[in-house]
Amino acid sequence: MTDHRELSARLRAAVRGEVDFGTTARALTTMDASNYRRVPLGVVAPRDADDVAAALSVCRTYGVPVVPRGGGTSIAGQATGTGVVLDFTRHMNRLLSLDPGARTAVVQPGLVLDRLQEAAAPHGLRFGADPSTHSRCTLGGMIGNNACGSHSVAWGTTADSVRELAVVTSRGERLRPGRDWSGAPAGLRGLVDGELARLRTGFPDLPRRISGYAVDALLPERGADVARSLCGSEGTLGVLTEAVVDLVRVPRARALAVLAYAEESGAAEAAAGLLPYRPLTVEGMAADLVPSAADLPRGGAWLFVETGGDTEAEARARAERIVRAADVTDSLVVTDPARQRALWRIREDASGTATRMPGGAEAWPGWEDCAVPPARLGAYLRDFRALLADHRLHGTPYGHFGDGCIHVRIDFDLLTGPGVARFRRFSQELADLVVRHGGSLSGEHGDGQARAELLPRMYGEETVALFERVKALWDPDDLLNPGMLVRPAPLDSHLRFSVLPREPVDVAFGYPADGGDFAAAVRRCVGVAKCRTTSVAGPEVMCPSFRATGEEEHSTRGRARLLHEMLAGELVTGGWRSTEVRDALDLCLSCKGCRSDCPVGVDMATYKAEFLHHHYAGRRRPAAHYAMGWLPVWLGWVARTRTAGAVNALASVAPFARVAKRLGGIAGEREIPRVAGETFTRWWRRRRVPPGEGRLVVLWPDTFTEHLSPSVGRAAVRVLEAAGLRVALPPTLRPAGGRVGDARSRSPLSLPAARGVRVCCGLTYLSTGQLDRARTVLGRTLDLLEPVLATDAPLVVLEPSCAAALRTDAPELLPGDPRAARLAARVRTFAETLEQYAPDWAPPSLNRPVTGQTHCHQHAVLGDAPDRRLRAAAGLTGELTGGCCGLAGDFGFGKGHYEVSRACAEEQLLPAVREAPRDAVVLADGFSCRTQLEHLAGVRGRHLAEVLATYLP
């Protein structure tokens, strides 16, 4: 048995990069995007080829296997292993050179594809293969799997763009495989010369044959292309350290034709007929994977066909020619780049969307990408659907119809013995079906463990034996990624679900979308790793802490992996008391960006609150949980004692402020926000405005509006009343003997009174995981709101975080209280209220540019379409940025969070404000966003209500 400490020490002495045998590093690499799980001994992040050779030497000495890993998005299990994982994303991630004249680039294996595309774009070039994970997959992983993508009908697979590789073999030999036998290991040419007949007749001829080793690329008539033969070898033959790749010329203009068909088979049968028109893509998907709000032509299935040209008119003409040639029920041709990106996102998110069936059942990879000749795709899909029905399984195919390659996630039961047995039987029968149609078990993502066991059904035993001989020449010690491609582990072993608890764990939230099962919620993360995207485009938010740190443990996927391992209890053994999970969640901003941007709807903010609730149960909490988690209590005390002036004065004295921040767990770099001298509700009670006659709306006095930004509430009242609405505040429990709803409140709402109790969404308790307290606060709020809920009045919530808490967290934390769901249904944002209840009102015309940021909770939970329409009606031009401001409630105030908080703001918000025109209005509906702008940029952001109120007559 290997001595882990000795191996770790030897590796640390041998390599200059990081060596991590800790629990967190191992837990983060137990899985890829497949159904499989293996626990590695440790992770090495090599700095260069010398480090790779040194690590291989040490591992060979100890007989420990090595698994090269890029972005970890492999779907067949080939990026998992029980030995040492080589992580190339940390250091060996550079673009070494780019030659526009030769149209080549030299890349390291950890380079993310999008970074190469960005560097090539100014020269009118790009790398041809473009899988949907382009924002996080690496060139090394793409070469290992021979990745393809949507443009393969025009530009082929990764192998078609590889010119030369640099690899280190398991015995430390450094080779540069290229063409015409260059870089081949000893004995390989002789093996090929003895098997020419088999190589010429034993490999299916189709564009997406990825399964097995590409030994036929070594035929003399194919140029004895050693580099190509390594593509798709899944790190089992040599460790890639560098690659010379070809780039393709990009059309100056593109058009996207979306062709609608009545059903899937019709689209599949039509795809091959479009290939003579030389499109750039022919992608297909059915209605089951398309959001109901998607702006697509009428139909039950669609082909996304992209065309190119030197001009927009030429690209459009080619697209329209394809539309005329196709027999479709409806169609759409788009040339606007922004709209094209929105349509392509529907297709790219399918790999995650497909993991949940329309009825909510879980679906899994395993038969993610088999391929058949394009002309047989329609017939194959009919047979495939019949096989699913025979096994009482369900799945929604989509993918590269023009290449005959189909992606599908299937609702396998991988949790029980009978379900796993059915998975095995179905896999065997589907392999036979693919072979009968002349296809390949893998058409893009590789065989890994998912399909390698079935390769004899495709190639026969003798060809598989040839693969084993090839492996022995390259890797005689079977050191590199053993159990993949040759001598594979059974396809139903090492399943990642087998280690999870069979009974639901006791939790505080209801998890309605996951049947109340926290393990099922955690299982949502299938590893497609959209959260590892290093830059965001448009309004997207997820995952700001990963972009700030570049660390897997601070991505949504990384945290989900640690929670998975916590539930498994094998590697992360502390359960809810786990320090590894706590530390990973510490930098989660609870922005909820993953709730909308993650294709499978992981809600890490909720998982974090759940974990903190259990982690600190019966224990002392961090000081910030008391200082900021109980913010409504402290601010309420200041308001009742009328000591705001004294508090502000003390906070402005540096020694007092330092002591207060230290005691409260607040970052020393932060300023303590000033408390308003007059609360919003106190201002409301002293108003002398007669009641109106319009539609009643109830304005929610959230903690931030009430105590810190009452100007927002005052402005909202002015605008709502100007729009003809009758504004009331929620009932408040006032001193004994008083009533709510008297003349000063101008509301028909009343409630028996008591001292000092008011409505609260519980946000600060939720974000710090004080869920018992949050439940109490929300329950009391529901009691107070019963008179409101008995009417049809909407609740207007000005603070997006509070609106999100009421709309989503409240019903999930109180699933047994029907009032919580009724409350959630009543919540409206400021813009939603005006749009729905004052549709004829015209806002003042400002005619000003705007800058700022859409609040992350608004993006993730509430939606901002009404806000955009209201801004447009008011003549506020321009778009707000995406991302997260970085303050995120209590996060940016917390000790140790300042640098990450600032990095998040510097990603989009602060540059947008700096670059805005001098007369631009800086919009920031959230108190956190406004505070961050003031602290870091000295800029005063304003709520949209404040902006509109300023220009009212």
pLDDT on residue 746:
37
| Percent of the chain residues past pLDDT 70, beyond the cut | 95
Q: Is 269 helix (H, G, I), strand (E, B) or coil?
A: helix
Edge-first strand order for the sheet with 239-246 is 95-99, 104-107, 239-246, 162-168, 174-175
Q: What is the pLDDT of residue 397?
A: 86
Nearest to 147 by CA among 83, 6, 243: 243
Whether the pLDDT of residue 826 is over 50: the answer is: yes
pLDDT tops 60 at residue 592:
yes
Q: Write phi, then psi, for 138 (nearest 5 degrees).
A: -105, 160
Q: Read off the pLDDT of residues 195-206 as tens digits, 9 standing for 90 and up.
A: 999 999 999 999
Confidence band, pLDDT 50/70/90 cuts, at residue 329: confident
Contact 406, 371 (CB under 8 A): yes
Residue 226 tokens, joined: 């050693």
Residue in 25, 28, 47, 50 with CA at minimum distance from that of residue 37: 28
At 751 the pLDDT is 33
Q: Is 30's pLDDT higher than 80?
A: yes
How far is the C-alpha of 789 from the C-alpha of 331, rounded, in Å?
Answer: 46
**pLDDT number for residue 289:** 77
pLDDT, one tens digit per residue, over 888-907 is: 989 999 999 999 999 999 99
DSSP β-ladder status, 281-286 and 398-400: antiparallel
Residue 536 has pLDDT above 90, yes or no: no
CA dihedral 410, 414, 417, 423 (to 10 degrees): 30
pLDDT-wise least confident of 344-348, 698-702, 794-798, 878-882 = 344-348
Average pLDDT across the chain, whole number: 93
Ranges of each domain in the chain: 4-87, 95-249, 251-353, 355-468, 518-616, 837-950
How much is the average pLDDT of 665-694? 91
Share of the chain above pLDDT 90, in %: 87
Say what the pLDDT of residue 362 is. Answer: 86
pLDDT at 741 over 50: no
Please, are residues 848 and 920 in contact by the beta-carbon 8 Å criterion?
yes
Euclidean distance between the first and the last CA atom of the chain, given in angstroms as a whole number: 81
Judge whether residue 357 has pLDDT over 70. Answer: no
Contact 594, 602 (CB under 8 A): yes
Cα gap 376→379, rounded to integer Å: 6
Question: How many other C-beta atoms can be found within 10 angstroms of the C-beta atom of residue 742?
Answer: 12
* Topology match between the domains 251-353 and 355-468: yes
Rounded distance between C-alpha atoms, residue 355 and residue 363, angstroms: 4
The pTM assigned to this predicted structure is: 0.93
User: pLDDT grade, residue 352 (50/70/90)?
Assistant: low
Rounded to an integer, what distance in angstroms lies between the CA atom of residue 677 and that of residue 688? 20
How far apart are alpha carbons 220 and 513 in whole angstroms?
Answer: 56
What's the pLDDT band for 355 if we cut at 50, 70, 90? Answer: low
Residue 538 has pLDDT above 90, yes or no: no
Q: How far apart are CA 730 and CA 717, in angstroms?
A: 14
Confidence of residue 349 (pLDDT cuts 50, 70, 90): low
Q: How far apart are CA 213 and CA 470, in angstroms?
A: 8
Distance CA 716, CA 728 (A): 12
pLDDT in the model for residue 290: 76
Angle in degrees, CA 689, 693, 694, rounded to 5: 110
pLDDT tens digits, one per residue of 109-163: 999 999 999 999 999 999 999 998 999 999 999 999 999 999 999 999 999 999 9
Q: Please tell me the predicted confidence (pLDDT) of residue 858.
A: 95
Considering only CA atoms, give the Rg of the chain: 30
Q: Is the pLDDT of residue 438 over 60?
A: yes
Bridge partners (DSSP) listed for residue 44 = 19, 86
Query: Among 270-284, 346-360, 709-723, whose mean pLDDT is lowest?
Result: 346-360
Predicted pLDDT at 365:
86
The angle that helices 604-615 and 771-784 make with each other, rounded to 10 degrees, is: 110
Give domain 4-87's CATH number out of 3.40.50.1400, 3.30.710.10, 3.30.43.10, 3.40.50.620.
3.30.43.10
Domain at 251-353: CATH architecture: 2-Layer Sandwich (3.30)
- For the beta carbon of residue 630, count every other beta carbon within 10 angstroms: 17
Output the CA angle 836-841-847, nearest 5 degrees: 115
User: What digits encode the pLDDT tens for the residues 575-588?
Assistant: 999 999 999 999 99
- pLDDT over threshold 50, residue 323: yes
Would you say 677 and 911 are in contact if contact means Cβ atoms under 8 Å apart? no
**Six-digit token pair at 771?**
């869920």
The predicted-structure confidence for 70-81, as pLDDT tens digits, reads as follows 999 999 999 999
Count of CB atoms situated within 10 Å of the CB of 743: 8
Rounded CA separation 27/478 (Å):
24
Element (H, E) at 718: helix 710-722
The answer as to CATH 3.30.70.2740 being correct for domain 355-468 is yes
Average pLDDT over residues 667-686: 95
- Asked whether residue 754 carries a pLDDT value surpassing 50, the answer given is no
User: Is the pLDDT assigned to residue 404 strictly greater than 50?
Assistant: yes
Which fold, 95-249? 3.30.465
| The pair of three-digit structure tokens given for residue 237, joined into one six-digit string | 């033959």
pLDDT of residue 744: 33
Q: Looking at per-residue confidence, does 367 or 163 come out higher?
A: 163
Q: What is the per-residue pLDDT for 750? A: 37
Angstrom distance (rounded) from CA 29 to CA 199: 36
3-class secondary structure, 429: helix
